[in-house]
A and B are shown apart, each in its own frame.
Chain A
Amino acid sequence: MATPLLSAELLRRLEQFQLLAQRRAKSAARGERRSRARGQSVEFADYRNYVAGDDLRYLDWNLYGRLDRLFLKLYEEERELPVRIFLDASESMTFGEPVKFDFARQVAAAVGYVALCGFDRVSVVPFPHRAGEALARGALRTVRGRKSALTFFQHLQQLTASGPASLNEALRRGAIEARQAGLALVLSDFLDPAGYEAGLTALVARGFQVDAVHVLAPEELSPTTFGDLRLVDAETGGQQEVTFGRYRLAAYRQTVSNYCQRLREFCAARGINYFLASSATPLEELLLRQLRAAEVLG
């Protein structure tokens, strides 16, 4: 364990925030989130006619006095919000300076910490799914409450990135496996030859509110290596020959920008919050400015 994922200063500031969910929580467990379920809380929701057997404590006596009929006050039941963090741990995430995977872990840790502070259930789904690691992670799949923060951080730090991954496959599985839909945070570089559309669509279809953070290394955004190159793909081993000079830098940037724009439009059409972040972006900038502006944190 080299450096802590998050600084103490950042943790202190994150405690002031909570995750904002636009949808009502559907979890069965009680929590601090408003839900469609009626139950015990201080938030008034509705009235209904009294039927025999109802708890007399919830009768509205004032209304009985005016209308001479018995009504029962209903309250919103507060439930927990399951937060699933999909963390891309493929080989491509090991590139960049700073390394994209480290950056993604920090974002995951920060968002997870906010969720834990809000008594939400946090689970981390790293992909590709590896049997060996799953064993170690088994107990840590889902944590809840601020007391679990340390365990959560340790778990994140034990993760390594390697091997090829299928983004679509991982997201679809995550959508199916989830018992309740909640908040899904997808941390990936979205550089999958098979695309990302099916996976994100599956999450949305399952009812998740999806936040996608697109992590790219500075080198990928603006390359500094020029000349006659034979590029080897770290995940697939595929080769690509390219002659690249400074004068074509603008064209390359345009290509990257087009790619990101397409992803952004895809997300916007499905109500997904999309954030593009270079791995060199300061964490505070992303968390405290961009995520707050998009009302992911509040």
Chain B
Amino acid sequence: MNFLAPTAFAFAAVLPVVVLFYLLKRKRTVKLVSSTLLWQKFLAESQASAPFQRLRHNWLLVLQILLLALVILALARPYFAGNVKGGRLLVAILDASASMQSTDETPSRFEQARRAALALVDNLRDTDQMVVLLAAGHTEVKQSPTGNKAALRRALQSCAVSDAPTRLAEAFRLAQPLVKDRTGAEIHLYSDGAAGDLSEFENEGLSVIFHQFGRRAENAGIVTLDVRAHPEDPTRRAVFASVMNAATNPVQTELDLLFNGAVVEARPLTLAPRETAAQVFTAAQTNDGIFTLRLMTPDDLAADNQASVVSLLPEPAKVLLVTRGNRFLERALAAVPNVSLTVAADSADDAREFDFTVLDDVLPAEWPANNVLAIRSAPTNWVEPAGRLDAPPIVDWKNTHPLLRFVNFDNVQIAEALAVKTPPWATPLVESPTAPLLLAGEIGRQRVVWLAFDTLQSTWPLRISFPIFIANVVDWLNPATARATQFQVRAGDPIRLALTSPLTNAVMRLPDGSERTLTLDPGARELVFGDTQREGIYHLEAGTNRVDFCVNLLDAAETDTTPKAELRFGKYAKVQAATAQPANLEWWRWIAAAGLAVLMFEWWFYHRRTA
């Protein structure tokens, strides 16, 4: 047997003190008696008078010395090297998404979840190990596998709730290799059940214990927000929003629109149970600024009651069309509002003065450095044609992509197209059976849309979908649009800003007023700020730039705080919320405390009897 703390044996020096206390004479009360004769006989019969003989039969002293010796032995922390069966591995996933801020539990779902996780730590056995994962917009490993309860408690105490949406899949992806093929390994999920899609774990057979928090869904929130130019009046801006009521009761509230902090419009709003209502505001705008939408209703979740959006004044998009003549394309581009179109037969320079370039079946002498819509331009650096397709039928298109919004390829025939393989940078948006017909993607910071066929070799320009597509292209390729979306950040996602000139440091002011100084690498071309856990307006001062970023929750799944009693893994697998948590609730601490109390009582009682 060895000792972790052999210095504790120094406490053995107190053992003689106990004996000394027994030998010390007590203060005695003087009493006059008729005769001490009987007492002398009594003492002679009941005890010996020599001090060490007196100690011999004092069982109390023996017990006290024994107790002290055991305490000292325990303080020395004896151990022996042995092999134990591997303990359990518990992976605690603490959901720190916005909906966990709901105050339907006291003080909040997240605090309740933390408390439950701490209780799990208390009940760990000696050989058990635990991992703490904090799952919000991203999953953070707060504690790698350990049996050290203090470290686990510290890790749990350091967890903080965020305004980010839940992405539990990432957490499960981290937890899965830990618990895979390991007996006794369990995943303890502390969440309200707004988990997103977990179908990838359907067949993994994860051992998940779902601790569900949340009792009701008294919440209304803003779930979408966007600002655009007014379709009919270019001087005004249209703010699109949708407000969701997750409660099963109707909600009467007021929706306020603010521009740079000043109220523009206040609109009373009545939401039916579980209704999502779309709202459109129009407002004049004279300078760049921030529209803020505020829902004036006290509910369980405050994070979704406010959302902001950066609105930049529209500037005419400068478009260079390099074509050998395509009237359909020219008219379609000219029809898009706020476009100043320049048509050229060839492009001689990198066309930096234009916002984007349209290459209509030409290979320019100088490749443009800005965003490009390339129609049947090949070969290029980007695509390698492998042949030609005659009359390829259109079999599929992705109308979820912004480029294909409201675009329909029914009744579009193509005479001839280039056959290319999908390059790694691009997403195929329109596909024939053998090759993609429309690719879109980003190369470096350059957006590229590549069309495999000449529009004049198809019936597409005759269809209504063509000008819509061109309008979408203008919207998508216009750097101003990209810039505007760049100021819109989901909570938990990083803020990115392209740097035009090298900087060494920048200051970011957070919504709560605190400031962070960011140190940048002089060669960096992009500034990235990741700590966007709280929603609100982030103000960046970088060199001469003053930029505002709006960080919003804007997530219907988070706003819908309805507690979910089960967690679905795909179609068939699911986990029910565990109401009673399986844990070994150990008693020994209480028994040991009771033992100590009895010991104290015995000591007190002994002294009361002899007093």
Contact = CB atoms under 8 A, between A and B. Distances in A.
Contacts of B43: 240, 242
B39 interface: yes
A192 B396 CA distance: 127
Interface in B8-53: 25-43, 45-46
Contacts of A245: 609-611
Interface residues on A, range: 35 or more
Given A228-B28, A243-B610, A247-B609, A255 B41 contact: yes
Nearest to B30: A230
Contacts of B46: 248, 251-252, 255
Interface in A88-102: 91-96, 100
Contact of B37 (A193, A229, A248): A193
Given A232-B32, A240-B43, A243-B26, A227 B610 contact: yes
Nearest to A254: B45
Given A191-B38, A247-B609, A241 B45 contact: no
B610 A255 contact: no
B609 A231 contact: no
Contacts of B37: 191-193, 233
A233 B33 contact: yes
Contacts of A129: none
A248 B29 CA distance: 18
A221 to B, nearest CB: 9
A259 to B, nearest CB: 6
A102 B610 CA distance: 34
Contacts of B36: 231-233, 236, 238-240
A116 interface: no
A133 interface: no
Given A243-B610, A251-B46, A96 B26 contact: no
A255 B611 CA distance: 21
A135 to B, nearest CB: 28
B29 A230 contact: yes
A226 interface: yes
Contacts of B609: 245-247
Nearest to A191: B35
Contacts of B33: 95, 220, 231-234
A235 interface: yes
Nearest to A221: B38
A230 B31 contact: yes
Nearest to A256: B38
Nearest to A248: B46
A240 B28 CA distance: 11
Given A92-B35, A191-B35, A251 B28 contact: no
A189 interface: yes
A242 B43 CA distance: 8
A157 to B, nearest CB: 22
A251 B611 CA distance: 17
Interface in A180-229: 189, 191-193, 217, 220, 225-229
Contacts of B32: 231-232, 234
Contact of A96 (B34, B39, B41): B34
A59 to B, nearest CB: 64
Contacts of A243: 26, 610
A233 B25 CA distance: 21
Contacts of B40: 240
Given A251-B45, A255-B42, A255-B45, A226 B34 contact: no
A246 B610 CA distance: 7
A254 B45 CA distance: 10
A119 to B, nearest CB: 37
Interface in A114-171: none
B292 to A, nearest CB: 81
Contacts of A93: 34
Contact of B38 (A234, A246, A259): A259
Interface string B41-69: 11101100000000000000000000000
A95 B35 CA distance: 10
Interface of A: 91-96, 100, 189, 191-193, 217, 220, 225-236, 238-243, 245-248, 251-252, 254-256, 258-259
14 contacts: A94-B34, A191-B37, A193-B37, A220-B38, A226-B610, A229-B31, A231-B32, A232-B33, A233-B37, A234-B35, A239-B36, A240-B40, A242-B39, A255-B45
Given A191-B34, A255-B46, 16 more contacts: A92-B35, A94-B34, A95-B34, A96-B34, A189-B34, A189-B35, A193-B35, A225-B29, A228-B28, A229-B28, A233-B36, A241-B25, A245-B609, A247-B609, A251-B45, A255-B45
